[in-house]
Amino acid sequence: MERTLGIIQIIISVLLVISILLQNRGAGLGETFGGTGNVYQTKRGFDKFLFSVTVILAILFLSTAFYNFIQS
């Protein structure tokens, strides 16, 4: 059971990192040299889906880590 839980945690953590990296708004060349990109936009379409997936993965990762902590 511990081995399976460890594998599940590794898979969830990799997916969580990927989903966080995909949310990067793409700091373009103009923003790199001081351009402002501070415009508030609502999440729509794929951005909203990716945000929801990230939240779900974070909750799953924390719950499995907590369960693993309780079991040890």
Residue whose structure tokens are 């999440």: 43
pLDDT at 61 over 90: yes
Domain ranges of the chain: 1-23+45-72
Measured CA to CA in angstroms, residue 19 lies from 7, 58, 63 at distances of: 18, 10, 18
Query: Mean per-residue pLDDT for 43-59?
Result: 90
- Give tens-digit pLDDT for 7-43: 999 999 999 999 999 887 654 444 545 555 566 667 7
pLDDT at 48 over 80: yes
pLDDT at 70 over 70: yes
